[in-house]
Structure 1
């Protein structure tokens, strides 16, 4: 703590006087007590005499080389004199400029001279150093006056230090890093006083009086954790130092000498009495009209206390805040050592502008808390991370817990949304969300949507090689389809994904190549949450690697950005206390796949929300995603995105998913049975995405290249509705409602269907989205001799390969 102004007592918390002080020399004082008191006063007098001698030294000692050398030494600027390093609090800001958290060793906000109310400057000078603008670094008159006052009163009632000396004293103590340095800065000794005086002389040469006063007002301690006038004004009165009234300014000016004794929160009576002393002194000096001083004394002490906490615990985005804090504390761009980085954060006065979107953060937090309450009866947890496609900016990070000790229910220090380096989480198995990487690898190799493969009910994983060329697999293993998948028949790339068929993806991974699948995931930024590379085994596509929601969200964001992957970032800009920009980790984006490949992935994953394992979870705009259910229901995931935002949600049990699976789960009175990716994670994703995008216009995915449709759309074939006999408009509407497109072919003769109605269509079965050709009747024609004709189709409609015959005109 900086020492109290105008005193050499050291720590303001030790020996601070009460409102009324007991005289040291009274009739009842014993001879021994008088001797000790006189020795103390003698020491003060001797020190004062030394100071006077030092003050006279430069002018009185004008003869002799030794005298000239002594004077030169005293006036020369000392080595190592630094006015930097005064601790200021740092703040983390959301993207909109609002404050997320502050960090400090000392709660201080440095302000310029013009932002300190003139009445506060006057009040401090009146009580601490009324001749500040008249004397130099050393006030001989003030020192002698303090000596006379102390000797006449029998106690130390006045200090001899001026504002400049007090600033030096506080500066040296503030810059002390070790206990020894702090002790040296506090000790009562001639050596310390001489050093401070030498510094004071140098500072008077370096800075103007206004600047010295400003620096003093910004460094002084005002009690209750408030350092500097701005922090003190905000703390005690919830206003800026430029807005203080006369009674408020006098109160703060009075606190400085003994911050603990005159703390207006703990000792309001003493603080008021001290305030009135300041007002009296201002009137005595003629700086304040006596009537106005009397009026100010009648005013009660009115506080409007605003407490500022250091750290992320009280932040309304605590886990994102913690992520940013760990980014600064672990990245060497912010300092070579951990100690350097912590000092920068907690005393550097940084303004840290982040990527967090307040709307997205609120939406994510509400969603995870609603579906998995912080203190739920089942002890389950949920986490979500949101990332912007094309930039990698983290827009939200939510955990259904408060940041705090795990022993307290509903709290945790572990950020389940982030990697171990930024949240201490070892990650969670991602389940079928990893199938998207196998799909992307297959599409990257040119496989069309209609590529079909048999998906057996059980699969033996043999014939795989990792990226080192080693064979991997277990001939004795039998991998089966998870509960949200199926098997025993053929699937296409599209339908196998929609139904999340394990054995289909194991076969697809083998066809594409395990290494190619792994490489695709790595190009999309995936690695284990502990920072290690992804492990490579046949079940890679089933998501056995433990990862974080943040990395998964960033990977899926690349699909929304048409193949552009960006490392997730949280910090946009950092400025130091002077306003200068500091170096921050840069953006790292690269092309992970061709735009057409990403468009094809989007085309397939869109169907998961409309006809697949997460049907009904759409957003009313273009969106895509993938469910993930981990073995034995040990965890569940959903990762999804639009062109504007991506998010990944995990739900599981921090105590261990396999030990505490989500089978027959009942939570806070609601029972779910077995929890799949679509059971809890997908609704969290949907609610949070709707909230986060509520003021963002919809963007559309791009149509995939035509080469992916070379074997059809990949959808299951369906029988086309029989629309014969309908008017063309009715028929087209019916076909569109069934998921088909329609066009009108050449008119045909028909004796069965009246003129102007549909007489035939082709093909009679097709994949949803295919185009159906309608043939409209032009009535029965007349043959030779006037007979009506029209007994068969006059044209041959396009045949339907692999499907039932077309419905011919009749």
Structure 2
């Protein structure tokens, strides 16, 4: 057996190897072989074997995959989940005596040393599986580029360190454990790290299902991954695969005929790339929200770098709140009404939040995730706040009126509480929560959703979204109380700052995000229980340990009765108000929002089971590019109100999202709110037809109506100068204070009378009395 066979033990061989390496490279003399061996065999104090970086996966609520994050595309598997033939193939070509030798394969190492000594440099490797594992481990656990370069350097000192670590690791782990770790750490080219990722990438199947030919191909790649990558050099990869098969045959591990058959087989690649990040996710903006949730929360690491390392290398399984069916419904709706590449450059975003949990069930933007320079793409998540998507938010418009309504109801105002709403209103006498005057001399009107010039109740003022009504109501309630109500329900500006306090607060000048507005509306659906919007349900690491995740912090923010009363009022918006006709066939409530100058439009609505907020506008700037004279989704609009596009998006979304969700009803509001009537009390229009205009106007005014006169009309029934008709007509049930239009008769329409047409069968005459003994009066004897 020569000198190797006569060496008494590992320690002596180690001493000889150390001496040879030292002598051949650095000329160090005087190191005793025995002392060298003792040093060599001692377990190094700096030896670490931490888990290597593994890819993390984000899952929807049903377990379907949304995205994968990784530095290296790696997915660890136990050895028993690797096909036995794969284990044989890698051992055959890399270390056939792996289960026979210790940490060092002396034959291979001395052979390599002899070659290196003759050349005066490292020219040949003798690394076994254990040494290769150590080399890869040192690279993977390096903290900086300098350590990574050192771990890869082709120097005897690096080789010596590997040999020493290899001896130590064999004392700590079994052969199977070392082989398992090696297979999970090795690089197989084309971005695939570890045998499981490689098997799925090249063949679209797990490592447990690899065939002989598949296994030989993968085993051959490891030596030079870039040269033998079958996606780049299929010819070289095939040759290398066949070399592995020949080696397996030489060792007697497979029959010659089997090896020959496998060598004739095609590569049979089924390349399946693993996207890294959110760009190709089925819910890209929700995925982006999840990513930012982890990267921005110190709970997942003290620094951004640590959090990034956890997400991309921690092998996390991140289970989220997303409902794929609801996500699909929302995405289809926003894309249908505001196509991603529309010529108007308009955009839409929607967020769905579950009442009582705060779980974000869907998040849709009518864009792809990507650079805005490419049409139909954006990196900005219009559905989220700036800390979850870089958006600074959009003015909320009349969707904010709900907070003034809630504050009024919280103070005990009944549904029938009425205010005169002028056509224009100058907001004076307002103070913010610090007691400072924030009045304005600017006259505000009803140019958007509503109308003015008469009185409205809490109910009808909300249904018609009357700006001046809500400005007067806000003054009566108090600006500060209105702001505090919004804050109780989680509202803040999208840039993270506090809500600004001015009289137009109720008209929604603050810039907010759909997800935060949806969460606030969800609180009304949950009878006053507010929950912070959340996307994370559970996170586990590679060992199955759960990580602490943010809580929704659900709590009773406002009285249940107040919430029930708000719901009662907002149900009417979908049946009798600005969004009439947008019902979904089950109990639902909502509020339109049209921002000043038509710079954007909103709709926020909910059922007891789901809340949603929809925004439509122009990312380039709503005031410079308003929603005027635009064509979207097959329809053209002179001006876009909240009911025109946002409400239909909401309706289509909810119909799809709630298709399999049982129907639930809202709770009835407390009876105290009816102390002044229902708020929607209607009166009948008096019958004034045939009266003089002044008399008719007097009767209508006495009944509480405003009166206007329309153009005179023809009438065959009512004399000239009298009332021919009214609008609304006599007997109609209308709201108090509504305007009744009087139309005065011009008399019968002038012109020739229509000719008399004889009936079929000739003229007919009425019976004429016949005098006694004579011909009927007025007729000749022949009857003509």
TM-score normalised by the chain length of structure 2: 0.83
Deviations 1:168-206 (A, max 9, x none): 001111122322111111112222112112211121111
Asked if the contact 1:55/1:138 (under 8 Å) is kept, the reply is no
Aligned to 1:355: 321
| Residue 663 in structure 1 maps to residue 652 in structure 2 | no
Q: For residues 486 and 36 of structure 2, what CA distance do their matches in structure 1 show? A: 73
More deviation, 577-586/517-526: 577-586
| Residue 493 in structure 1 maps to residue 424 in structure 2 | no
Q: For residues 15 and 189 of structure 2, what CA distance do their matches in structure 1 show? A: 30
Q: For residues 461 and 238 of structure 2, what CA distance do their matches in structure 1 show? A: 78
Aligned to 1:140: 106
Q: Aligned-pair RMSD on alpha carbons?
A: 2.4
Q: Which of 170, 174, 182 is the aligned partner of 1:204?
A: 170
Aligned to 2:371: 405
How does 1:369-380 map onto structure 2 within 5 Å? 369-380=335-346
Asked if the contact 2:14/2:40 (under 8 Å) is kept, the reply is no
| Residue 635 in structure 1 maps to residue 596 in structure 2 | no
Would the alpha carbon gap of residues 538 and 276 (structure 1) be closer, same or farther in structure 2, given more than 3 Å must change?
same
Alpha-carbon distance, 1:76 to partner: 2.1
| Residue 571 in structure 1 maps to residue 536 in structure 2 | yes
Aligned to 1:53: 17
Alpha-carbon distance, 1:765 to partner: 9.6
Aligned to 2:224: 258
Asked if the contact 1:497/1:604 (under 8 Å) is kept, the reply is yes
Q: Which of 623, 626, 635 is the aligned partner of 2:591?
A: 626
Asked if the contact 2:521/2:606 (under 8 Å) is kept, the reply is yes
How does 1:114-129 map onto structure 2 within 5 Å? 114-129=80-95
Aligned to 1:528: 493
| Residue 683 in structure 1 maps to residue 648 in structure 2 | yes
Q: For residues 170 and 420 of structure 2, what CA distance do their matches in structure 1 show? A: 87
Structure 2: where are the runs of 5+ without partners?
Answer: 1-12, 22-29, 688-730, 736-784
How does 1:641-652 map onto structure 2 within 5 Å? 641-652=606-617
Aligned to 2:236: 270
| Residue 558 in structure 1 maps to residue 523 in structure 2 | yes
Alpha-carbon distance, 1:325 to partner: 0.3
Asked if the contact 2:189/2:225 (under 8 Å) is kept, the reply is yes
Q: Which has the larger radius of gyration?
A: 2
Q: Which of 440, 461, 474 is the aligned partner of 1:509?
A: 474
Q: For residues 126 and 420 of structure 2, what CA distance do their matches in structure 1 show? A: 94
Would the alpha carbon gap of residues 688 and 702 (structure 1) be closer, same or farther in structure 2, given more than 3 Å must change?
same
Q: For residues 233 and 658 of structure 2, what CA distance do their matches in structure 1 show? A: 51
Q: For residues 544 and 112 of structure 1, what CA distance do their matches in structure 2 show? A: 58
TM-score normalised by the chain length of structure 1: 0.80
Aligned to 1:243: 209
Q: For residues 649 and 19 of structure 2, what CA distance do their matches in structure 1 show? A: 74
More deviation, 462-471/646-655: 462-471
Alpha-carbon distance, 1:316 to partner: 1.1
Alpha-carbon distance, 1:483 to partner: 2.8
Q: For residues 19 and 328 of structure 2, what CA distance do their matches in structure 1 show? A: 63
Q: For residues 251 and 89 of structure 1, what CA distance do their matches in structure 2 show? A: 24
Structure 1: where are the runs of 5+ without partners?
Answer: 1-48, 58-63, 723-763, 769-810
Q: For residues 124 and 183 of structure 2, what CA distance do their matches in structure 1 show? A: 20
Alpha-carbon distance, 1:50 to partner: 8.3
Aligned to 1:699: 664
Would the alpha carbon gap of residues 231 and 344 (structure 1) be closer, same or farther in structure 2, given more than 3 Å must change?
same
Asked if the contact 1:101/1:321 (under 8 Å) is kept, the reply is yes
Alpha-carbon distance, 1:73 to partner: 2.5
Aligned to 1:540: 505
Q: Which SS does the other structure have where 2:628 is aligned? A: coil
Alpha-carbon distance, 1:519 to partner: 0.4
Would the alpha carbon gap of residues 581 and 212 (structure 1) be closer, same or farther in structure 2, given more than 3 Å must change?
same
Q: Which SS does the other structure have where 1:281 is aligned? A: helix
More deviation, 75-84/433-442: 75-84
| Residue 112 in structure 1 maps to residue 72 in structure 2 | no
Asked if the contact 1:717/1:765 (under 8 Å) is kept, the reply is no
Q: For residues 249 and 552 of structure 2, what CA distance do their matches in structure 1 show? A: 60
Alpha-carbon distance, 1:287 to partner: 1.1
Would the alpha carbon gap of residues 692 and 233 (structure 1) be closer, same or farther in structure 2, given more than 3 Å must change?
same
Deviations 1:226-260 (A, max 9, x none): 00000000000000000000000011000100111
| Residue 102 in structure 1 maps to residue 68 in structure 2 | yes
More deviation, 462-471/221-230: 462-471
How does 1:784-803 map onto structure 2 within 5 Å? none
Q: For residues 109 and 336 of structure 2, what CA distance do their matches in structure 1 show? A: 67
Aligned to 1:466: 432
Q: How many residues align?
A: 673
Q: Which SS does the other structure have where 2:363 is aligned? A: strand
